[in-house]
Amino acid sequence: MAQVEKRGGLLRKSSASKKPLKEKVVLMYDEIFMTEDPSKCSPRFWEELFLMKVNLEYLEGKLESLDGEELMKIKDNINCLFQHCIQALGEEHPIRVVNALQTLCALIRGVHQKNKSTSGFDIINMLMGFDKAELCMKNLMESLDSLLCAEGSESLKSLCLKLLLCLVTVTDNISQNTILEYVMINSIFEAILQILSHPPSRREHGYDAVVLLALLVNYRKYESVNPYIVKLSIVDDEATLNGMGLVIAQALSEYNRQYKDKEEEHQSGFFSALTNMVGSMFIADAHEKISVQTNEAILLALYEAVHLNRNFITVLAQSHPEIGMVTTPVNPAPTTPVTPLGTTPPSSDVISSVELPLDADVQTSNLLITFLKYSSIVMQDTKDEHRLHSGKLCLIILTCIAEDQYANAFLHDDNMNFRVNLHRMPMRHRKKAADKNLPCRPLVCAVLDLMVEFIVTHMMKEFPMDLYVRCIQVVHKLLCYQKKCRVRLHYTWRELWSALINLLKFLMSNETVLLAKHNIFTLALMIVNLFNMFITYGDTFLPTPSSYDELYYEIIRMHQSFDNLYSMVLRLSTNAGQWKEAASKVTHALVNIRAIINHFNPKIESYAAVNHISQLSEEQVLEVVRANYDTLTLKLQDGLDQYERYSEQHKEAAFFKELVRSISTNVRRNLAFHTLSQEVLLKEFSTIS
């Protein structure tokens, strides 16, 4: 018997030369694309259609092949198909429900594709008809809500979420997707929360649920009242919030693991041997090859949770026993191979297993640690647009955390000490830090380490000014908390001071190039004011009196940098150029730093001359400093411990619109035909009762 091949809805005998035969479902689709009502000649047409295996490719392709005028001619049949799909969702037979869900996916995507042309017909009218749209969408959303909340098939739940993601992402700009008005009215928020709070559902569908929620929250968020924003902001159920945190931690952990695997693969490979042989000139190239695609979708979900819901802050610090479990899970594998959707979804084994094991050198972990590690990777290379967006979003999340009183309380808690192994960019002038020697410290130390690492590693031609400003703001907000609550943090402050002075030197040495693109005085003023914060209030939050002495030592030791900065801003503030006002602010801010330099330098020179020492040791300089504090006069500067709180709508709206557009495109791209494959689904429902 000759083999039967199937291609694009056609059946043919491979050995015959006869005209190919169409499979039955394709013939039925063709009837729908006629102007006549297909059920006139065949009363059981719709009943039979949903027993047929869906041919997504053919149906979507057929819709795309028609022009607007041709599509309008069969509008009644399209409306009828849409309505019968919704009716089929209430059927007892799961095969009908599966076929209806997949048909809806093809219909929505196919009709939306046509909207990109110049035909200009209305999508809602095309799919449902204006007069029936409200009822249609109400019934659709109620059916999806019931399927998601029911005890039934996990495969159906997976397909429901994919349909919803398909519905949300058919347009790049989700705020222009008018169908989502009905998703706002007929909320599925509670169904999403139920998935997140129930461990078996969360393991299989948590990722899709979290990405869906993040996208729905961003629908017309600045133009109207979005019920998903309102509801997310007041969620206080611990199981739900923890469930959401676990899903985010899983996805970020998976990214960190992939990066670590690639890094180890790199180090053990030929390229590593070549680098060692030739020297470190290729380090940057080697590093770029390690890059793993970022996951903006899950990062957006984390941002919305942190920004909107104050209760979620507690989740950041909670240890995740599931992630820490190294034992093999006893749960059976899911019935459907779930391909989660997002910019870079984690692999299916991550979602279906209990959780990820921790790094060997970390005893306990939490979402914040996982996020800090993720940030340390994506913030290394900001040349790529996706990584730049990810780096910016990481800093925005850290800004929200640094402003929160409760978050600061656990960040600075001496009883919550962790080893946080941040990734450090390979650089020619420093050796790779030994991970095993990391001390256990409060979490704020890891945040400060991350900020110092960013400052040190991004002084480049394509200067990321916006990221630097955010980075300095995070440090400033943490210092404001320490000053307010008199927290004496045992941290290597010298590393921060050194990084800030080097950044000032970079701004000065590249003045001409940078001023062509940026107002570098805004950043310079922020850096100088950080030093002013230490000078004015350091005695209330620096760990020991000797730490305060070391601050003065660093300022005196690097006095040439501050002198050069003063000369530069004085030159520009006395000229009538565009930078006059900005430069003069820095001039005034330098008053106490200059007072320290001018007060101590003559005394140090005098001490050296009297004792016939050509070069003083650090201890000798510190001795002079301690002996001459009493005669130093400093000016009290106002507002050093004040800052403007983060506001998304006024300053970040354009960034988030662009970010959500990018995420929507990626989610749609990942929702490929194979993710909607029926093969496994139909095995689950192989018999119809």
Query: What is the percent of the chain with per-residue pLDDT over 70, rounded to a whole number?
Result: 82
What's the pLDDT score for residue 437?
72
Q: How many domains does the chain have?
A: 2
The residue ranking higher by pLDDT, 311 or 364, is 311
What's the pLDDT score for residue 60?
86
| Most confident of the following: 265-279, 566-580, 663-677 | 566-580
Answer yes or no: do 596 and 639 share one domain. Answer: yes
The one-letter amino acid code at 610 reads V
Whether 8 has a pLDDT exceeding 90, the answer reads: no
Please state which of the ranges 120-129, 243-252, 385-394, 662-671 shows the lowest mean pLDDT: 120-129
Whether 333 has a pLDDT exceeding 50, the answer reads: no
Whether 359 has a pLDDT exceeding 70, the answer reads: no
Answer yes or no: do 644 and 664 share one domain. Answer: no
SS3 content of the chain, % helix, strand, coil (to 5): 65, 0, 30
Whether 689 has a pLDDT exceeding 80, the answer reads: no
Confidence band for 4, pLDDT divided at 50, 70 and 90 = very low
Give start and end residues of each alpha helix (H) in 218-334. Answer: 227-234, 238-268, 270-278, 283-289, 296-308, 313-317, 321-324
Provide mean pLDDT across the span 275-283.
Answer: 45
The one-letter amino acid code at 551 reads L
Answer yes or no: do 602 and 502 share one domain. Answer: yes
In the β-sheet with 21-22, what is the strand arrangement from edge to edge?
4-7, 10-13, 21-22
What's the pLDDT score for residue 587?
96
Answer yes or no: do 595 and 674 share one domain. Answer: no
Provide mean pLDDT across the span 269-275.
Answer: 53
Q: Give strand ranges (E) for 234-274.
A: none
Cβ neighbours around 465 below 10 Å, total: 14
Q: What is the mean pLDDT of the chain?
A: 84
Answer yes or no: do 515 and 586 share one domain. Answer: yes
State whether residue 112 is helix, strand or coil.
helix
Counting beta carbons within 10 angstroms of the beta carbon of residue 621, is it exposed (0 to 12), middle (13 to 18) or buried (19 or more)?
A: buried
Whether 286 has a pLDDT exceeding 50, the answer reads: no
Whether 39 has a pLDDT exceeding 80, the answer reads: no
**Nearest CA-CA partner of 592 in 628, 643, 632, 539:** 632
Residue 239 in domain: no
Answer yes or no: do 600 and 669 share one domain. Answer: no
Report the DSSP beta bridge partners of residue 13: 4
Residue 328 in domain: no
Answer yes or no: do 617 and 672 share one domain. Answer: no
**CA–CA gap between residue 473 and residue 646 (Å, rounded):** 10
Instruction: Kindly report, residue by residue over 439-496, the tens digit of the pLDDT.
Output: 899 999 999 999 999 999 999 989 999 999 999 999 999 999 999 999 999 999 999 9
What's the pLDDT score for residue 119?
43
Residue 560 in domain: yes
What's the pLDDT score for residue 409?
96
Provide mean pLDDT across the span 387-401.
Answer: 95
Domain range enclosing 41? 24-183+660-688
Whether 541 has a pLDDT exceeding 90, the answer reads: yes
The residue ranking higher by pLDDT, 17 or 570, is 570
Instruction: Kindly report, residue by residue over 463-475, the tens digit of the pLDDT.
Output: 999 999 999 999 9
Provide mean pLDDT across the span 130-144.
Answer: 93
Confidence band for 323, pLDDT divided at 50, 70 and 90 = very low
Provide mean pLDDT across the span 504-533.
Answer: 96
Answer yes or no: do 147 and 43 share one domain. Answer: yes
Whether 424 has a pLDDT exceeding 80, the answer reads: yes
**CA–CA gap between residue 412 and residue 481 (Å, rounded):** 9
What's the pLDDT score for residue 370?
95
- Say if CB 340 and CB 330 are below 8 A apart: no
Whether 678 has a pLDDT exceeding 70, the answer reads: no
The residue ranking higher by pLDDT, 554 or 54, is 554
Provide mean pLDDT across the span 564-584.
Answer: 92
Whether the CA torsion 437, 502, 454, 640 is positive or negative: it is positive
Residue 129 in domain: yes
What's the pLDDT score for residue 676?
52
Confidence band for 684, pLDDT divided at 50, 70 and 90 = low
Inter-CA distances, 77 with 60, 84, 397, Å: 15, 10, 48
Whether 15 has a pLDDT exceeding 60, the answer reads: no
Q: Which residues contact 442 (CB under 8 A, 6 or more apart)?
A: 411, 412, 413, 414, 416, 417, 489
Residue 453 in domain: no
Instruction: Kindly report, residue by residue over 78-123, the tens digit of the pLDDT.
Output: 999 999 999 999 988 888 999 999 999 989 988 887 666 444 457 8
Instruction: Kindly report, residue by residue over 150-194, the tens digit of the pLDDT.
Output: 887 888 899 999 999 999 998 889 998 889 999 999 999 999 999
Whether 284 has a pLDDT exceeding 60, the answer reads: no
Residue 465 in domain: no
Residue 405 in domain: no
Answer yes or no: do 667 and 620 share one domain. Answer: no
Has this prediction a pTM greater than 0.75?
yes
What's the pLDDT score for residue 110?
85
Residue 5 in domain: no
Answer yes or no: do 65 and 159 share one domain. Answer: yes
Instruction: Kindly report, residue by residue over 364-386, the tens digit of the pLDDT.
Output: 789 999 999 999 999 988 888 88
Please state which of the ranges 129-138, 290-299, 412-421 shows the lowest mean pLDDT: 290-299
Counting beta carbons within 10 angstroms of the beta carbon of residue 454, is it exposed (0 to 12), middle (13 to 18) or buried (19 or more)?
A: buried
Answer yes or no: do 65 and 115 share one domain. Answer: yes
Sequential DSSP letters for 445-460: HHHHHHHHHHHHH--S
**CA–CA gap between residue 186 and residue 597 (Å, rounded):** 66
Answer yes or no: do 567 and 669 share one domain. Answer: no
What's the pLDDT score for residue 20?
60
